[in-house]
């Protein structure tokens, strides 16, 4: 399954009324792709209840995205990488699980 960029949950028309997002568009909690770095961004954003796009600069200072992607491509799933992101403790596991401050987000990549 390919995840697509974020869209607003509702559209505002010229009168200021809102209409629900059409069913064929992704929800606001969709992340950009299935990469481990996007999984981390989505999980931290969910914990902070913020737009994932506002976290990229913070995450780039916390972990090397290429190194994380390389680790995720490794044949085995018996690994765990832990690192801080801002005030959060993040763990990424080989089975695709992301943990932020103890909150588990399974099968994220």
**Per-residue model confidence as pLDDT tens digits over 3-16:** 333 333 333 444 55
Query: pLDDT tens digit string along 27-53?
Result: 334 445 789 999 999 999 999 999 988
Read off the pLDDT of each residue in 81-97 and give the average, rounded to a whole number. 94
Q: Where are the domains of the chain?
A: 31-105
Between CA 21 and CA 45 the distance in angstroms is: 21
pLDDT of residue 75: 85
Between CA 108 and CA 47 the distance in angstroms is 14
Identify the pLDDT of residue 21. Answer: 39
pLDDT at 79 over 90: yes
Give the separation between CA 98 and CA 109, rounded to whole angstroms. 9
Structure confidence at residue 23 (pLDDT) = 41
Residue 36 tokens read as 């481990």
């Amino acid at each position: 399954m390919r995840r697509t960029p974020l869209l607003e949950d509702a559209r505002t028309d010229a009168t200021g009324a809102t209409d629900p997002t059409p069913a064929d568009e992704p929800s606001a909690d969709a992340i950009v792709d299935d990469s481990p770095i996007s999984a981390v961004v989505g999980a931290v954003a969910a914990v902070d209840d913020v737009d994932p796009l506002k976290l990229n600069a913070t995450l780039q200072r916390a972990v090397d995205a290429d190194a994380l992607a390389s680790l995720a491509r490794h044949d085995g799933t018996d690994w765990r990488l832990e690192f801080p992101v801002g005030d959060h403790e993040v763990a990424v596991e080989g089975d695709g699980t992301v943990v932020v401050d103890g909150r588990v987000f399974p099968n994220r990549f």
